[in-house]
Amino acid sequence: MKYLLEKKDMETKTEDVVHPMDAFLSGIGATLKTLDPYNLNLAKSRIFNIAHEIEMNQILYKQTDTFYNNAPTSSSAGNPYIGTQLV
């Protein structure tokens, strides 16, 4: 019985944790709800565009970073002529 009570207490504590981004967006939501339909649409579009642009930059950065990390270097790796004796 004690185990069940402790487990339930831990679950309750875990549920109370709010991610900072959720708290931020909840606060912004309260402000957005006060806007007229035109300005609300404008704000939603701008927020979406900013998030999309940053997400694309992150994706491109990761792809570029992966490309450069996997690119062959000036070492002999992958070059069959380096290290062989010319006759």
Q: Is residue 2 part of a domain?
A: no
So what's the pLDDT on residue 4? 74
Q: Structure tokens of 64?
A: 């570029």
Domain that holds residue 30: 20-69
Q: Is residue 62 part of a domain?
A: yes
Residues 33-54 have pLDDT tens digits of 999 999 999 999 999 999 999 9
Q: Structure tokens of 32?
A: 């957005």
Q: Is residue 79 part of a domain?
A: no
Q: Is residue 3 part of a domain?
A: no
pTM above 0.85, yes or no: no
Task: Specify the 3-state DSSP secondary structure of 56.
Answer: helix
Residues 1-24 have pLDDT tens digits of 777 777 777 776 666 799 999 999
Q: What is the tally of structural domains in the chain?
A: 1
Q: Is residue 26 part of a domain?
A: yes
Which amino acid is located at 79 in the chain? N
Q: Is residue 30 part of a domain?
A: yes
Q: Is residue 10 part of a domain?
A: no
Closest among 17, 15, 18, 47 to 31, alpha carbons compared: 47
Place of tokens 């002999």: 76
Which one is predicted more confidently, 13 or 86?
13
Q: Is residue 59 part of a domain?
A: yes
Say if residues 82 and 76 touch (Cβ distance below 8 Å).
yes
